[in-house]
Amino acid sequence: MTSTPDDSRAARLLDRPFTLGDLTLHNRIAMAPVTRQFSPGGVPGADVAAYYARRARGGAGLIITRLTGKVERDHFHHA
């Protein structure tokens, strides 16, 4: 696979900081939540924290985590 000028431009744009209000990300790379199967009973453990820490050290500008639970009659209950 060969690189094109558009690929280089996209890489430069992804590497630029992004600010929204008081939040500034050091780049525009966002990681979606992917650890649902790592949290038995819906409770993340130290292994999940370590997983996300590795991704942060790897350069993701924004890491989105997930919250598991259910809503019943306007009350939130952890799953």
- Cβ atoms < 10 Å from Cβ of 45: 12
Give the confidence band of 8 by pLDDT, cuts at 50, 70, 90.
Answer: confident
Q: Provide mean pLDDT across the span 29-43.
A: 79
Q: How many domains does the structure of the chain reveal?
A: 1
Least confident of 27-31, 39-43, 73-77: 73-77
More confident residue, 37 or 78: 37
Confidence band, pLDDT 50/70/90 cuts, at residue 19 = very high
Domain ranges, residue 61: 5-78
Give the residue ranges of DSSP H helices in the chain.
5-14, 46-57
